[in-house]
Chain A
Amino acid sequence: MSLDAENEDAKMEALIAEVLTAYPDKFAKRRKKHLSVAKPVAEAAETENALLTECDVKSNIKSVPGVMTVRGCAYAGSKGVVWGPIKDMVHISHGPVGCGQYSWSQRRNYYIGATGIDTFVTMQFTSDFQERDIVFGGDKKLDKIITEIDQLFPLNNGVTIQSECPIGLIGDDIEAVAKKKAKEIGKTVVPVRCEGFRGVSQSLGHHIANDAIRDWVFDKKETEWEAGPYDVNVIGDYNIGGDAWASRILLEEMGLRVVGNWSGDATLAEVERAPKAKLNLIHCYRSMNYICRHMEEKYGVAWMEYNFFGPSQIEASMRKIAKHFGPEIEAKTEAVIAKYRPMVDAVIAKYRPRLEGKTVMLYVGGLRPRHVITAYEDLGMEIVGTGYEFGHGDDYQRTGHYVKKGTLIYDDVTGYELEKFVEKIRPDLVGSGIKEKYPVQKMGIPFRQMHSWDYSGPYHGYDGFAIFARDMDLAINNPVWDLFDAPWTEPDSLAIAAE
């Protein structure tokens, strides 16, 4: 290890120690376990796909009260992430009005359909709980709501009930209502126990939502459907800004059939048929690994993680997927890679010189803190810090495949910590969420939202990589960052002006 690198590691460790001094002792101790610096692997294996580093921190435990965690809740994980994008079902935000209101149309799950007629993604259906519903229970109201939905939106293919906090606290029996109404309207009705107080973050909501698919969708209807030899499901792509479309086009060109896309632009039928596919391709491991494991156990569907951010990962992933299907698909895949190569080379030739050596700090959800790293590296950029809002141990373990030694790792980072880390490290770019965007930009540091793609996208696939490269360039190289200081505040400026 070079002396410089050692110094850098020591500096990062010192930065962590400094930040922790602001906490009361008890909580400094608790937060310390969530912060670390990526370390070299003790015994580096010389195999392909070996770990580069160890990024071991405590994760998936309760946030400390009062620290300004960035995390959301189980409802956000279920309604906001997993169920909400399923376009031909009506998702009821069951409880008071707020949860559904704040999450209305904010995830950018693109879909094709006549909204309000046969698709319902960018709508807010709520039971708008009032005090009497808390006191007397909301089951009767829920019953009536489902009737009204079916009358006013008859082309819906089903209903989900996304529980907000009060539901579990007042003892409502939404499962009984769901069973009764499913019979009455002759459609799928799914109760989801994703009350916001359950678990420690969005993550449990993903799990609960996955379990609801297992328990309330699979094997409930006869699906007349003959699977082909190259049928796959894309799991954990929410089609943000069209991500899943930019991925699907590549999979189709490889000769595969995407039977179901979970859950961006999905219909209920795509969910129901999924167990008949030959392979599950999982992009967001954190939010949908549960159902993949279940499909493997119960239906024998193999699953494979892949990464469609940036050409290096796209190529590696496509080859890995193709290998599963044999020489015919492998040959087609090589042709696809070759077809896109000139475009990718041109994108890199155009943007890499403008981005080379720029440093990036990331703080995102459950997948992107590692998945996007290579895409930045394809553009010559360097990741100096990363962390997850709601990652688990297996996410941090996987992160070791991506980050270099000396990278700052922060789990469930607090507003205070992130501000201090950014201020001290002063990266050239920060990629995080809407709550982090404006504080960082005020400091004069370029920023891109990495949940919503900052209203741009797609970022998946080759078509998406071109947009990703353009967006990082326009964020970093915009002239506004040079205008922050008023010229007269610089020493001698007035004297110069007077000359």
Chain B
Amino acid sequence: MPQSAEKVLDHAPLFREPEYQEMFARKKQMFECGVSDAKIAEQADITKTWDYREKNLARESLVVNPAKACQPLGAVFAAAGFEKTMSFVHGSQGCVAYYRSHLSRHFKEPCSAVSSSMTEDAAVFGGLNNMVDGLANTYSLYAPKMIAVSTTCMAEVIGDDLHSFIQTAKDKKSVPQEYDVPFAHTPAFVGSHVDGYDVMVKGVLDNFWKGVEPKPNTSINIIPGFDGFCVGNNRELKRLLDVMGVEYTILSDASDQFDTPSDGEFRMYDGGTKIDDVKAAVHAKATVSLQRWNTRKTLDYAETFGHETASFHYPMGVRATDEMLMKISALSGKPIPESIRLERGRLIDAMADSQAHLHGKKYAIYGDPDFVIAMARFVMETGGEPVHCLATNGTKAWEEELRPILDASPFGKDAKIWAGKDLWHLRSLLFTEPVDLLIGSSYGKYLERDTGTPLIRLTFPIFDRHHHHRFPLWGYQGGLRVLTTILDKVFDKLDADTIVPGKTDYSFDLTR
């Protein structure tokens, strides 16, 4: 009997005990009717071939292990970045349970959102009553300052009209007439979570900006985009802007909402962009997006108010940070202070110290379109080669944007861009054109298992490592964090490869 009170074994060691191993063998042999081990090994080998890769890449309809989620997830995330705002997702209720779980599993934080709980009768008659009742209940129970409405695909397929439904709900006194209920249609069968983010932010702005005559001031609006590292990143961003003395408004800032303290009180709402600040933001001089593929509609909208606009692709790495700071400096007229130049110098110093361990390393990078661009650039700045750049929610246009960036560097000229491909495609790519390191999300751990490529978790969602999102990736400080994370993986791998006593440990160097 393997189990004991002295040393309690949980699943990992317990099932390796002989009693269980023998039981598994019996089950397999007597009851499972599976194929032979030889056949499994043969098929496993087939999946590693170029031939399989070609068939895999020729897939037209099936999607396997995609690295993207659906629009309403982005909408719920965007809404969480505004002061005391409750997300209300109109449609089936199971979806909302999924968004909340997904965000909680990443942030290790509460995630509050409600559903209008539409069922079969609503599928036939429309979900108006659900909206009317739902808004009344949400308003009474959770006392939000604003309710941000988005939709599941059910409500979209049956064609519910949010604008008129919300007005009817107000007419029926579910919420006061003047109460803020911004909305966005977020069909799951269009785009991905980054587009849901876009339309929800736009919906919130439209709620407050519509019909307002802008009186331009000197302030700058900054839209961070969907970001699993918003906690660390937004705080670092604000620090940099404060050091520069820039007047700014971050539009959708979920850094406090997804990082509330444990002190005995559950804060359903915390932080976020103040409603008054959203209102005032219409008068800003400029609106800057830190993730262009997350904000295309919102930026177009801001332009209609005469805002100068600029966009970046996730300000991570040296040049990306340089560009962002210089643009902000130009827009605000505030110089970049010496202290930030010194921070930059410290990042460069660290990169120079470690360059020998990173030069020539080959990478596969996947994630949202802006993240992949930024990561590929930073990798190239360290002398690394981004061999595979993949975004399931990347488009042809994204590919065309990334291509010249890669071509401009000797480290990127052989890189391949995989727009619209999934992680089962990437598995084939890693077998046929292997790399040293894989950068992505927790889902990449299956690729690490199958192909032996070490995984570095640097983008949403990260379920199986804790607290990384509390530290920034943006700015020069963030660059240090990214650099160290990559280096740790390189050194851990090097140690693991040289740890066998008397065999490989001649290279088990104390100093590296």
Contact = CB atoms under 8 A, between A and B. Distances in A.
Contacts of A241: 10-11
B170 to A, nearest CB: 14
Interface residues on B, range: 35 or more
Given A125-B64, A435-B104, A72 B141 contact: no
A67 B114 CA distance: 6
A469 B105 CA distance: 24
Interface stretch (B69-77, B432-440, B482-490, B491-499): B69-77
B134 A66 contact: yes
A27 B94 contact: no
Interface in B25-47: 26-28, 30-35, 39-40, 43-44, 47
B356 interface: no
A136 to B, nearest CB: 12
A165 B189 contact: no
A103 interface: yes
A304 B129 CA distance: 43
Contacts of B60: 144, 148
A241 B14 CA distance: 11
Given A148-B61, A245-B15, A65 B117 contact: yes
Contacts of B263: 442, 484-486
Interface residues of A, number: 124
Contact of A66 (B97, B100, B135, B158): B135
Interface string A61-98: 01111111111111110000000000010000001111
B442 to A, nearest CB: 9
Nearest to A470: B8
B123 A197 contact: yes
Contacts of A202: 94
Nearest to A473: B8
B154 interface: yes
B92 A64 contact: no
Interface string B414-441: 0000000000100100000000000000
Contact of A64 (B120, B135, B137): B137
A72 B92 CA distance: 9
A104 interface: yes
Contact of A70 (B19, B68, B97, B99): B97
A299 interface: no
A196 B97 contact: no
B123 A169 contact: yes
Contacts of B167: none
B219 interface: no
Interface in B97-117: 97-102, 104-105, 108-117
Interface stretch (B228-236, B264-272, B467-475): B264-272
A97 B195 CA distance: 14
Contacts of A125: 62-64
Given A64-B133, A444-B264, A154 B123 contact: no
B92 A66 contact: no
Nearest to B88: A66
A66 B137 contact: yes
Given A68-B114, A457-B10, A98 B141 contact: no
A116 B31 contact: no
A485 B24 CA distance: 49
A488 interface: no
A351 B26 CA distance: 34
A456 B94 contact: no
Interface string A107-123: 00010111111100011
Contacts of A269: 31-33
B114 A73 contact: no
A64 B117 contact: yes
Contacts of A141: 61
A115 B1 contact: no
Contact of B63 (A117, A128, A151, A252): A128
Contact of B446 (A122, A127, A467): A122
A17 interface: no
Contact of A346 (B5, B14, B94, B268): B5
11 contacts: A63-B93, A66-B134, A110-B15, A127-B63, A148-B60, A166-B153, A343-B3, A435-B97, A466-B5, A470-B8, A484-B264
Given A95-B189, A124-B65, A467-B10, 7 more contacts: A97-B66, A97-B188, A98-B98, A117-B47, A148-B61, A152-B56, A258-B27
Interface of B: 1-6, 8-11, 14-15, 19-20, 23-24, 26-28, 30-35, 39-40, 43-44, 47, 52, 55-56, 59-66, 68-70, 72-73, 88, 91-95, 97-102, 104-105, 108-120, 122-123, 129-131, 133-138, 140-142, 152-154, 157-158, 187-190, 192, 260, 262-268, 424, 427, 443, 446, 450
